[in-house]
Structure 1
């Protein structure tokens, strides 16, 4: 196997010395086996206090991907996502978050002409802990552990073969402050995914916990001048263990996100409030 568990930890260690707190970036999800894929999201990020320690991020997103026999990243629908996450930076370098997510993902036949076979729905809850290191004035390092619970249904909310999954994600990301003009930044990251699943098929059973994917990403981020919007443009390579795509360098993603940043606004009080 091209990327065994030992190689995953080696790559994570290397990136750990290089990874960071990118406030707006929305990383692509896994879209399954393909050659190329496209991911785009529109998010609304709101500060809940004047210090920016508490925030929420809500986004809606779509993904498209190629068929196994071509490189057209817009060839077919891959996923629809609704996500809401709450963040709390409880110290200057530590942060936790928790989220709810809904995903609707078409499944396609494995043989040509790769027609759509069915629809899978997913409800996901997850929690995340992150620690950020200030390496210098321009470099920041962020290491993250994220634990997910994923529950799956078909289009009519009936059971599917894979009942639910517990997944652990370990990520390191490096951010370089490219220029203060428009808050331009560059970021690279490495993320390893490990999981165990419970299945409904035949006799109900669990598979073994193990490494499933490695995701390598690079992003360029900037603020649109004189606006509350941030743009992220990125690339991700998804190396899926045991997939067809891993023999061709993985699934190559291109991503573009737009984030609307809403500052904290203190609630005004009226005279009656003061009298009370």
Structure 2
């Protein structure tokens, strides 16, 4: 049993509530997967232009011969992101993330591999354009990432460094006048180069499609997000992984 607990974390989203979920991380090739996260989002200044978002999350996967998305523990994530909305429609972010991901053998009974896990330290930025049209909020973003991989003892993994670029489009549709119920959809394409002894070619790797329903309880400052993600890995022999995702956010618990 894995217990998730959090201290007082910072976070909330900027005025256009278009980046409202803690989206699932990619968990590699599997049939199905699940993702749960809890976090806080908090405004950091009186003009509400600087925000911080922190979340803790865990993911589970099915075995290759089954479809239970909760069967095996896969990943544990701690993530912190600071956002500055410096213009009406423009924002940039900086973030730091730590991840522990279990590695399993690809033959039955799919026990832990050797080494049993991969650790990751990730530094990334985000540049976003955001706007609204009637009942729809939408955004386009570019996210460059630098990823460092380690074995469980913190020695460098065989594939030890990766630079990845992520391009995402997102739209959120308000379902009521109070904007407490939303449906959102995203599409995100990823390109990367990885170093072992030398750097590989920089090329397309995967694309992810998400569909979410969000419900906000303003008086309790909670937002609940329930979603589905389809991760299409590869260019020719494509692997489709189906994710069930759920996260809980606490919105702006401290007034500035």
Q: TM-score normalized by structure 1? A: 0.83
Please say if residues 44 and 50 of structure 2, whose CA atoms lie closer than 8 Å, have aligned partners that are also in contact.
Answer: yes
1:33 to 29, 36, 42: 29
Report how many residues are paired: 239
2:208 alignment counterpart:
215
Distance (Å, rounded) in 2 between the aligned partners of 1:265 and 1:32: 40
Distance (Å, rounded) in 2 between the aligned partners of 1:26 and 1:243: 29
Alignment of 1:60-209 (within 5 A): 60-117=56-113, 118-134=116-132, 136-181=133-178, 183-199=180-196, 204-209=197-202
Instruction: In structure 1, list runs of 5 or more residues that go unmatched.
Output: 1-19, 267-276
- For residue 89 of structure 1, report the CA deviation from its aligned partner: 0.8
Please say if residues 33 and 243 of structure 1, whose CA atoms lie closer than 8 Å, have aligned partners that are also in contact.
Answer: no
Task: Look up the SS of the partner of 1:31 in the other structure.
Answer: coil
Please say if residues 182 and 225 of structure 1, whose CA atoms lie closer than 8 Å, have aligned partners that are also in contact.
Answer: no
Please say if residues 21 and 141 of structure 1, whose CA atoms lie closer than 8 Å, have aligned partners that are also in contact.
Answer: no
Q: Does 1:45 align with 2:41?
A: yes
Q: Deviations over 1:37-57 (max 9, x none)?
A: 000000111111123211000
Distance (Å, rounded) in 1 between the aligned partners of 2:38 and 2:177: 24
Task: Look up the SS of the partner of 1:206 in the other structure.
Answer: coil
Distance (Å, rounded) in 2 between the aligned partners of 1:228 and 1:191: 29
Which has the larger share of strand? 2
Please say if residues 182 and 224 of structure 1, whose CA atoms lie closer than 8 Å, have aligned partners that are also in contact.
Answer: no
Q: Deviations over 1:54-101 (max 9, x none)?
A: 100011000001011000000000100000000111111101101000
Higher RCO, 1 vs 2 (CA within 8 Å, ≥6 residues apart): 1
- For residue 263 of structure 1, report the CA deviation from its aligned partner: 4.8
- For residue 205 of structure 1, report the CA deviation from its aligned partner: 1.4
Q: Does 1:251 align with 2:248?
A: no
Task: Look up the SS of the partner of 1:205 in the other structure.
Answer: coil
Which has the larger share of helix? 1
Task: Look up the SS of the partner of 1:179 in the other structure.
Answer: coil
